[in-house]
Amino acid sequence: MSEPVSALNKAGFDGIAHVQEIGLQGMITLRGNLAAKDLKAAASAVAGVAMPGVNEANCEGERGLCWMSPDELLVLCPYDVVQANTAQLQQALTGTHALAVNVSDARAVFRVSGPVAREVMAKLCPVDLSPAAFSPGMFRRTRMAQVPAAFWMVDEQTFQIVCFRSVAQYVFDLLSVAAQPGSAVNLF
Amino acid sequence: MLTLQCPYCGVAADETELSAGGEAHLKRFGPGSSEEEFHDYLFTRENPRGVHFERWRHSHGCGKWFHAARDTQTLEVFGTYKAQTTEPPKDIRDAITAKRPGWTWRDVA
Ligand SMILES: [Zn+2]
């Protein structure tokens, strides 16, 4: 077997916030009727957390469920069990109009952390990131400059970002520029 | 700058998060239609200065298509509604009438 390597091999950058590619993360795209009992049960069984509401992320450590759209969830799990978890989902949803695909190697995952992490993200996304509008537990799909991205907050000072693997270097460079030393705006 | 609320995820989406999809509520004419009908379906579009109905997609968000009613001159948004709608719903038409009495658009009003 080949040895899996994440897009940027855990590259990091230190500025007004710390930018880190976190390495391998198991990610499964699950599409189907999110109101269906079978699907909810299968997703929760694999992720070990309850179903998130609209625009919410329900995460614990490397596991979690993120609301992507009215018919799509992102299931998070440790990378080494992602194939087994995908098979488990497919097995549980046999005969149901649903789709579970392992997309771990098609994505890259970053963390931006520090007291001004909100500012770094706000420079790049058309999203209200004031503490009153966006807080841990919420989930947002949007764009970062020229590319699609999705993120949620692990805690009050940490964002976790998912983007396509093919634009991982671009997103790392974006975040690094937005986090340049001396570039704090002190907006929030 | 235009901000439309996506009726599926509820996000107040900035224009840069959306893709424009052209005029709303077109009736498709395909095989079996007259040349005149097919021509109009392909090419004839409203181009109003004022009240207009459009299709938009929350392409950098939840990915869903939806409808929007807005004023092309002032960029005022009267409302958004789901794609599974063949004509503008009454609350949207009422909202427009409240602000643009006497408005017209194709055979909707
Ligand atoms: Zn949406």
> A85-112 pLDDT, tens per residue?
999 999 999 999 999 999 999 999 999 9
Angle ∠(A32,A37,A41) on CA atoms, nearest 5: 90
- Tell me if A174 is assigned to some domain: yes
* Chain B CB contacts of A140 below 8 Å: 11
- Tell me if A156 is assigned to some domain: yes
- Tell me if A185 is assigned to some domain: no
Confidence of residue A1 (pLDDT cuts 50, 70, 90): low
Residue A38: predicted pLDDT? 95
Residue B108: predicted pLDDT? 87
Q: Which among B9, B7, B41, B4 is positioned nearest to B25, based on CA atoms?
A: B41
One-letter identity of residue B28: R
Residue A183: predicted pLDDT? 96
Number of domains making up chain A: 1
- ipTM score assigned to the predicted complex: 0.92
One-letter identity of residue B97: T
Expressed as residue numbers, the domain containing A121 is: 12-178
Q: Test A54 with B16 for CB contact under 8 angstroms.
A: no
Q: Which among A178, A143, A121, A126 is positioned nearest to B1, based on CA atoms?
A: A126
**Among chain B residues, CA nearest to A68:** B62
- Tell me if A160 is assigned to some domain: yes
Alpha-carbon gap: A171 to the closest alpha carbon of chain B (Å): 15
- Tell me if A173 is assigned to some domain: yes
- Tell me if A186 is assigned to some domain: no
- Tell me if A35 is assigned to some domain: yes
Extents of the domains making up chain B: 3-99
Alpha-carbon gap: A1 to the closest alpha carbon of chain B (Å): 36
Q: Test A140 with B11 for CB contact under 8 angstroms.
A: yes
CATH number of the domain where residue A174 is located: 3.30.1360.120
Confidence of residue A121 (pLDDT cuts 50, 70, 90): very high
Residues of chain B with pLDDT > 90, as a percent, come to 96
- What pTM was computed for the model? 0.93
> A25-51 pLDDT, tens per residue?
999 999 999 999 999 999 999 999 999
- Tell me if A150 is assigned to some domain: yes
CA B91 to chain centre: 14
Give the count of Cβ contacts less than 8 A between chain A and B. 33
Q: Where are the beta strands (DSSP E) in B30-98?
A: 51-57, 65-71, 77-82
Residues of chain A with pLDDT > 90, as a percent, come to 98
pLDDT along chain B (109 residues), means of 10: 96 97 95 96 96 98 98 96 96 97 92
Q: What CATH architecture does domain B3-99 belong to? A: 2-Layer Sandwich (3.30)
Q: Which among A43, A164, A26 is positioned nearest to A98, based on CA atoms?
A: A43
Residue A155: predicted pLDDT? 97
pLDDT at A2 over 90: no
- In the block, tokens 């916030």 appear at A17
Residue B47: predicted pLDDT? 95
